[in-house]
Amino acid sequence: MLSGDAIARALTDHTTGLAITPLLDADQQIGATSVDLRLGPDLILTSRATGATSFDPADAEEFLARREAAQQYIRRPLGSSIYLHPGEFAIARTLEFLTVPSTMSGEALGRSSWGRLGLIIATATLVEPGFRGTITLELTNVATVPIVLYVGMRIAQIVLFRVEA
Phi, psi of 112 (to 5 degrees): -65, -25
Q: Per-residue DSSP letters for 87-105?
A: T-EEEEEESSEEE--TTEE
User: What values do phi and psi take at 5, rounded to 5?
Assistant: -65, -40
Kindly tell me the burial class for residue 24, based on how many C-beta atoms sit within 10 Å of its own C-beta (0-12, 13-18, 19 or more).
exposed
Is 138 among the catalytic positions?
A: yes
The answer for residues whose C-beta is within 8 angstroms of residue 54's C-beta and 6 or more apart is 66
Please identify which of the residues 62, 68, 107, 138 carries the catalytic annotation: 138
Residue 28: DSSP 8-state: H
Q: CB burial class (10 A; 0-12, 13-18, 19+) of residue 121?
A: buried
Catalytic residues: 138
